[in-house]
Structure 1
Amino acid sequence: MDSMVILRMRYLGDSLLLVPTLRKLLLAYPGIFLTVVVNRGTEYPLKNLSGIRVVVFDNRSFWGKLKSSYDMVRLARERKWDLWVDWTVSDRSRLFSRLADASRKLSCGWKKDERPSSQNSIYVPVDFNHGPDPVMNQYESSLRKIGVHLSATSDPLVSSSASSRMEIETWRKENRLDQETPILLIHPGGREWYKRWPPDRLAQVGNWWSKVHKGVVVIIGTREDQTLILSVTSGFQPETRFLIVQESIPFIHALMESSTLFLGNDSGPLHLADAAGLYGVGLFGSTTPAVWGPVSTGRLLTLYDPPACSPCSHEGCSQGVDNCLRRIEVNQVIEGLSRQLKLREKHLKEVSLS
């Protein structure tokens, strides 16, 4: 196989979870012309992978979608592709796949949308909500249906750039943070309100970190998260030292590499923390970590106490203040962070002795 296109036009976490599979493909097919299509704002982790052409679909405006759709039609007819893979599961990606000139096509989607397979087009039902397999395993299982077999393991780590690491050094100096200062990164955001652990509970964890570990709490998020961030910081004790960082993804990535622990909901930054090699705790409610959990084993502990309705279709939540994330208590998170801190210290000691 000499050429391949993969469509995964979703979110940042989806791009990060794709990294191990892409590395396996490059290893299995040296010299392959591999093109990956992702949405604007989610391309960062893939741009650091050598041997991959990244095509960005601009889904943020009408004109952006129009221009990107034209570019996608050109891509579909650019050459006779050996394999065209659609892992996006959307009407738009299905249209582009139908237009593609490819020797073989692999499409994935819900069981209820299943269409008859043909000689060169195979449809594989997947369930990215209920699994039960991790999403990465579902990717690779679908590839096996068309005879593409990949190695068993791959590293999810992605390194930040040297320029971003230099920015972090400057940031540390400006905020008087030496290398020994323990940093707890907290990401309070989530795509939907019911995918966010309550801000007052995040504040309680931050107060614990400051009091017990004499550390600094760093809240990360976007400009759109401003109200949510303020809801967290309003619960801090006067003696709790905290900083707010609303910077680019490369900056956040480098910051994660130099931090102590991470705490956040199931979202892109959780998987970015995994890619940065950061230890910590991920909070799951409407999604299951069995499918959407971190790729690495051990570094990030996932907490999940599902009600009968989880995992759900993410079309809203009728549970209100009794939603699934509220089932996770503060003491559970503190115990989890304490456990991960010990694992981190053990790992650093082993590295220093090796």
Structure 2
Amino acid sequence: MPQRLVDRSPVVPADQLVAQMVPPAMFDDVSFASYIPDPNEPSQAAAVAKTEEFSKRVAKIRAGGRRGLFGKKTQATGAGLYLDGGFGVGKTHLLASIFHSVPSPKAFGTFVELTHVVGALGFNKAVEAFSEHSVLCIDEFELDDPGDTMLVSRLLSELSTRGVSIVATSNTLPGQLGEGRFAAQDFMREIKKLGSIFETIRVDGPDYRHRDLPPAPEPISSEELVARAESVDGATLDNFDELCKHLSTLHPSRYNKLVEGVRAVYIDGVHPATDQSVALRFVVLADRLYDASIPVTVSGARLDAIFTPEMLAGGYKKKYLRAMSRLLALSRFEVATT
């Protein structure tokens, strides 16, 4: 009998929140050499060269410092790099390659994970926890509300002055973060401060996750879904509404543990999410499932129908499109049955 995600209530001790900030397992073995640039997209080869150069700079900053008055050694300001580009062009591959090539301690996490860690630890403890790191790698950088704007601006500015280098990926340029989501002009000073930390490079190209692939599989019947779930060791089977309700009871920093050890996820009765809070929590779940390469199979509506046209036209559009891209990729994964 398959397990249910709704029966899991994982707990993550505070001292493990930073320690678990490493690249997803699918990026364990990536490197600059294993990134294969598209010959039709010259920005990709340029990005590889730039990120490799950045890694060397990070190592020098952490090992060096500079001489101040009276010969006293002070810590150099951290470097900053921002990889801007569309979905599936290999930005996370390059980000993980930087992580693997620089000295420890170091941290890697999505923007959402970072804000959750800071929220759980408190600002001052978060600064101390990251201040000895050579680099903080932030995937899918985004600003969804004024609070996050202020929080991230303060954190990165503080860490940068302590010699921590910052590298981030996003599909929105630093100066445009927050557009369409809140009154960005009221926080433009903070947004510009964030942009000044980074040197921006562009990575162009089509989404590799869907290159030359057939459309996503159609949903299957509830009966077939149950039969498939029962045939896979380590699978979970949940009702969509019950799962969404359960997600609301867990801090998003616990979603990693929620899917830990799961081999395949089966969701019955999928339908469009009419509440934005529900949709945003499902985005976080989709990211954690994608990080762990866990196949997803559903009944009901298609996975690309979870987010309504109104949501896709709003300020969180890019976040929802990224989640759709990842969910469709997971829906194509083959699951080995018992």
Asked if these proteins are the same fold (TM beyond 0.5), I'd say: no
User: TM-score, structure 2 length as denominator?
Assistant: 0.37
Higher normalized helix content (fraction of residues) = 2
User: TM-score, structure 1 length as denominator?
Assistant: 0.36
Higher normalized strand content (fraction of residues) = 1
